[in-house]
């Protein structure tokens, strides 16, 4: 192999790796960074995108909201139960209407940004509602997103999702999910103001994004930012 060809190959591989990103605060379900999760059930695929096949790391939440045996594969039955318990531990308590933030890991790369969405599910991932859409320039080099939890969000346990469509690199969808608790909540999120999130590149529909273009979500919801 000529040196120039080898350089192109290595650069391409490096770019693919650099595109990976993960949420670290709040801790995603079964995060290896979470000291409350035992080593037997920590999952080290937090930076990986959702899989096209939908088998290994499917939408939503890489499959971590499924029943424990389907989630942790060949682990013993006792470890299934352990994973099932630990995935449901709430990581944050957020008052409705309060200012909050999401932090992404320092070892990832923004890969020229892209578009992100923050969403909530109150039925363990069966349905979702977008609370913030950021179109373009997401994530920033600070790896942090500030937002306001809607005052309409009802009280109770919810699944919080960060999803990302990268500007450059393979056509992928990234998503991490964390369990949170909402307090002081309102009467509920209106579907008109808080629609389902955009899903593409995940093998669950025919939608895909275009490399080099920041996705403009067709139904971004009430709260929108442009990067």
Percent of the chain predicted with pLDDT > 70: 78
pLDDT at position 179 is 94
Quickly state the pLDDT bin for 36 (edges 50, 70, 90).
confident
Local structure of 40: helix, strand or coil: coil
Provide the token pair at 93: 């308590």
The per-residue pLDDT for range 99-145, each reduced to its tens digit, is 999 999 987 666 678 999 999 999 989 999 999 999 999 998 888 99
2 has pLDDT over 60? no
pLDDT at position 158 is 96
The CATH label, of 1.20.1630.10, 2.160.10.10, 2.70.50.70, 2.30.40.10, for the domain at 22-226 is: 2.70.50.70
Distance CA(177)–CA(62), nearest Å, equals 9
What's the rounded mean pLDDT across residues 201-218?
A: 94
CB atoms within 10 A of CB 141: 9
The per-residue pLDDT for range 154-189, each reduced to its tens digit, is 999 999 999 999 999 889 999 999 999 999 999 999
Please name the helix (run of DSSP H) or strand (run of DSSP E) that holds residue 13, with its range, or none. helix 3-18
191 has pLDDT over 80? yes
Distance CA(125)–CA(163), nearest Å, equals 13
Name the burial class of residue 70, with classes exposed (0-12), middle (13-18) and buried (19+) by CB atoms within 10 angstroms of its CB.
exposed
């Amino acid at each position: 192999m000529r040196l120039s060809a080898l350089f192109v190959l290595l650069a391409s591989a490096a770019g693919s790796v650099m595109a990976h990103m993960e949420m670290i605060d709040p801790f995603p379900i079964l995060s290896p960074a979470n000291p409350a999760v035992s080593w037997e059930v920590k999952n080290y695929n937090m930076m990986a995108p959702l899989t096209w096949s939908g088998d290994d790391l499917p939408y939503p939440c890489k499959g971590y909201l499924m029943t424990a045996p389907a989630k942790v594969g060949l682990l013993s039955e006792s470890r299934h139960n352990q994973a099932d318990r630990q995935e449901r531990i709430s990581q944050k308590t957020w008052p409705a209407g309060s200012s909050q933030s999401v932090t992404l890991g320092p070892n990832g790369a923004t890969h020229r940004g892209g578009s992100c969405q923050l969403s909530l599910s109150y039925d363990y991932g069966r349905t979702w509602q977008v609370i913030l859409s950021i179109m373009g320039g997401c994530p920033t080099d600070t790896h942090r997103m500030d937002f306001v939890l809607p005052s309409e969000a009802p009280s109770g346990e919810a699944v919080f999702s960060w999803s990302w469509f990268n500007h450059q690199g393979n056509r992928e969808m990234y998503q991490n999910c964390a369990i949170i608790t909402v307090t002081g909540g309102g009467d509920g999120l209106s579907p008109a103001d808080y629609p389902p999130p955009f899903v593409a590149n995940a093998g669950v529909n025919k939608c895909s994004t275009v490399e080099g273009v920041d996705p403009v979500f067709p139904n971004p919801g009430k709260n929108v930012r442009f990067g």
